[in-house]
């Protein structure tokens, strides 16, 4: 049963209308902050702003105030350099006659929390980031915002906030990490290599000395994970939406071009203020279509499904999981990028990066180059001077005529195991159909213990099912890279994975996540039993268990929901408000929000 979606309602803030002129005839750019800084209605606010660093009355009265929101914290390479990038942005804002106010939000390292209790806080950090940026931008009466994310959930959190406050905004991606290299194994390594090497260790294919060397050299400095994992998936797609400067998603974290981008973003936000270019002018059906197309072309993460659904909801647009399948049916995979491919983002950067890919896709009429962007120009104009990929000697991006896979790798599956949908990542290397007997685990830790003991050695096709790891059951819908990577490292090819949780953007193999309804709310996955035959068909887009409707009904009648794992704190609030994966794992606040009640 569905209900009509209610249009978002936010607090209305007093501001001067676009086109208002200053006393000298110039265009007013401080349309929100001037409510506090002009006149004497808010003398306390002015006193605080002088104390915070505003130099004189002229600056107080006339200069626009731009929030610089860095998702910075120490202890994670994806984010540890973002405060310094924010300082560069602030420097650029001051040079362009604006006031920059740096502030911060929170984050969670997916690699550090992978397969431990910390991972349950990861997905909810997306919404806390959005809440934080919305809160500071609105409460402080900022005229614009420049957000600097680095890790997976950072990017969608920043864009969701933009759609909420809807003040001129630009995103600067913190950039990718350098590739690592193991001298001992004589091969490139990255963060995913650590988990795969651990799996190889469990099954006697590597030694502890080998694993130690991989761990020591996998992450040689700052930056987001370097493959086409979730961070780079989101960053490239957001660039295709026109919400970043050209090249932001592919410029490495430590490249001097990243600092230049920060200075350029300060100039670009002034253009957005002058032309009144707002996030909801850029977050449109057309730009989201671009995002989905580029995600398919580059072989991006299944987590993008959750995040683009959430971004769409924040902007009052109607994107559904069926749109992902529609795009997948017509868009090929062209990029030979990790996790399932050979190359890293840095390799693509050397060829011209994301702008070069977008230029080629615009030429092939796969990407809409006419959408507006934060530069004030169209996407096509932004990438017009990028290199022509097909004229280069390279095999990272295939031509349309010779794709790696003729259709998209992200498949939306439905059936009696997931009537509300599930998301599979099928590159074709692992086949397009899998039939096996279920082996069921009620939490990821149970499966990990079996793997550590070397007990997963199936002589026949086996579907490993991890349940009660969804948004409510997990809680927090944790990623399960450790299990998928361990199986790859162990070389087990006759195994498929299914969960109502998530897989990492670094995961690959025959994997299906986001099963809806989840086990905690009584989805059919809750009554799947060891030995039941499960069929995953990526051509028919189906996922079914060979159990009759009558037997399913009988099992569900006997099933009882397990007691929730938390009843206090941030995760308890999350469980209370969160919806299902097929709607982006967003919060529902009223009966007018769009949701489904699954009648089983």
Catalytic residues: 504
Determine the Cα–Cα distance for residues 9 and 5; give it in Å rounded to an integer.
12
- What crossing angle do the helices spanning 230-240 and 353-363 adopt, rounded to 10°? 50
Residue 71, H or E segment: none
**Given the structure tokens 């769009």, which residue do they identify?**
594
Residues 422, 519: Cα–Cα separation, whole Å: 13
How many angstroms separate the CA atoms of 331 and 290, rounded? 11
Strands 144-148 and 187-189: unpaired
Query: In 426-501, where does DSSP find H-type helix?
Result: 444-452, 481-490
Residue 271 to residue 257: CA distance in whole angstroms:
21
Backbone angles phi, psi at 201, to 5 degrees: -65, -45
Measure the CA–CA gap between 440 and 529, rounded to whole angstroms. Answer: 6
E strands, 21-72, in order: 65-70
Question: DSSP code of 339?
Answer: T
Q: DSSP 3-state assignment of 533?
A: strand
Which DSSP letter does residue 334 get?
-
For residue 33, which of 9, 13, 52, 57 has the smallest C-alpha distance?
13
Per the document, the length of the chain is: 600
How far apart, in Å, are the Cα atoms of 64 and each of 31, 59, 96?
8, 9, 10
Give, as one character, the DSSP assignment of residue 521.
G
Q: Which of 468, 475, 470, 473 is nearest to 570 (CA)?
A: 475
Give DSSP secondary structure letters for 12-78.
Answer: PPP-PPTT-B-TTSPBP--TTTHHHHSSSS-HHHHHHHHHHT--SHHHHHH--EEEEEE---SS-TT
- CB distance 148 to 248 below 8 Å: no
DSSP tag of 555: H
- 311/580 Cα distance (integer angstroms): 15
> What is the spatial distance between Cα 524 and Cα 522, in angstroms, rounded to a whole number?
6
**End-to-end C-alpha distance for the chain, whole angstroms:** 12
3 state DSSP class of 511 = strand
Cα–Cα distance between 169 and 157 in angstroms, integer? 13
For the record, the structure tokens of 107 come out as: 């984050």
Nearest to 348 by CA among 378, 385, 392, 380: 392
Tokens found for residue 283: 């977050």
Tell me the sheet residues that pair with 495.
462
d(CA 510, CA 73): 34
Dist. CA 589–CA 578, nearest whole Å:
9
């Amino acid at each position: 049963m569905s209900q009509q979606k209610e249009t978002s309602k936010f607090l209305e803030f007093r501001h001067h209308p676009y086109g208002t002129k200053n006393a000298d005839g110039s265009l007013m750019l401080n349309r929100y902050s001037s409510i506090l800084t002009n006149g004497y209605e808010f003398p306390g606010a002015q006193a605080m702003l002088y104390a915070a660093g505003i130099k004189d009355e002229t600056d107080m009265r006339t200069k626009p105030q731009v929030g610089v929101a860095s998702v910075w914290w120490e202890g994670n390479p994806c984010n540890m350099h973002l405060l310094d990038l924010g300082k560069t942005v602030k420097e650029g804002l001051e040079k362009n006659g604006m006031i920059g106010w740096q502030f911060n939000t929170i984050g969670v390292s997916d690699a550090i929390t992978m397969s431990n209790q910390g991972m349950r806080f990861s997905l909810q950090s997306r919404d806390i980031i959005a809440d934080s940026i919305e809160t500071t931008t609105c409460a402080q009466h900022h005229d614009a915002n420049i957000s600097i994310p680095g890790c997976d959930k950072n990017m969608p959190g920043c864009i969701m906030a933009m759609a909420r406050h809807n003040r001129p905004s630009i995103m600067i991606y913190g950039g990718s990490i350098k590739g690592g290299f193991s001298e001992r194994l004589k091969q490139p390594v990255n963060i995913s290599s650590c988990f795969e090497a651990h799996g190889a260790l469990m099954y006697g294919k590597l030694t502890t000395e080998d694993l130690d060397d991989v761990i020591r050299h996998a992450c040689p400095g700052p930056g987001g994970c370097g493959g086409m994992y979730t961070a780079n998936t989101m960053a490239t797609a957001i660039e295709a939406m026109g919400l970043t400067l050209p090249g932001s998603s592919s410029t490495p974290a430590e490249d001097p071009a990243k600092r230049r981008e920060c200075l350029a973003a300060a100039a670009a936000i002034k253009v957005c203020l002058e032309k009144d270019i707002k996030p909801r002018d850029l977050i449109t059906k057309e730009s989201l279509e671009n995002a989905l197309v580029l995600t398919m072309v580059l072989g991006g993460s299944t987590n993008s499904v959750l995040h683009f659904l959430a971004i769409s909801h924040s902007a009052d647009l109607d994107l559904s999981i069926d749109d992902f399948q529609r795009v997948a049916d017509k868009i090929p995979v062209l990029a030979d990028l990790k996790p399932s491919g050979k190359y890293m983002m840095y390799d693509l950067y050397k060829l011209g990066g994301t702008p070069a890919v977008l230029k080629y896709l615009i030429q092939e009429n796969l990407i809409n180059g006419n959408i507006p962007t934060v530069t004030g120009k169209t996407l096509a104009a932004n990438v017009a001077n990028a290199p022509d990929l097909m004229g280069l000697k390279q095999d990272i991006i295939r031509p349309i005529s010779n794709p790696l896979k003729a259709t998209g790798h992200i498949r939306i599956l439905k059936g009696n195991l997931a009537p509300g949908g599930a998301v599979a990542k099928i590159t074709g290397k692992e086949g397009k159909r899998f039939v096996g007997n279920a082996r069921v685990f009620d939490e990821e830790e149970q499966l990990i213990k079996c793997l550590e003991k070397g007990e997963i050695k199936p002589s026949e096709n086996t579907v490993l099912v991890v349940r009660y790891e969804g948004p409510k059951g997990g809680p927090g819908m944790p990623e399960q890279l450790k299990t998928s990577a361990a199986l790859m490292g162990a070389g087990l090819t006759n195994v498929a994975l299914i969960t109502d949780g998530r897989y990492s953007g670094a995961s690959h193999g025959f994997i299906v996540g986001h099963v809806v309804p989840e086990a905690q709310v009584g989805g059919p996955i809750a009554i799947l039993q060891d030995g039941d035959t499960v069929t995953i068909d990526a051509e028919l887009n189906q996922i079914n268990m060979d159990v009759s409707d009558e037997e399913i009904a009988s099992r569900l009648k006997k099933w009882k929901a397990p007691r929730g794992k938390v009843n206090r704190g941030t995760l308890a609030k999350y469980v209370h408000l969160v919806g299902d994966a097929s709607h982006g794992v967003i919060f529902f606040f009223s009966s007018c929000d769009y949701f489904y009640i699954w009648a089983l």
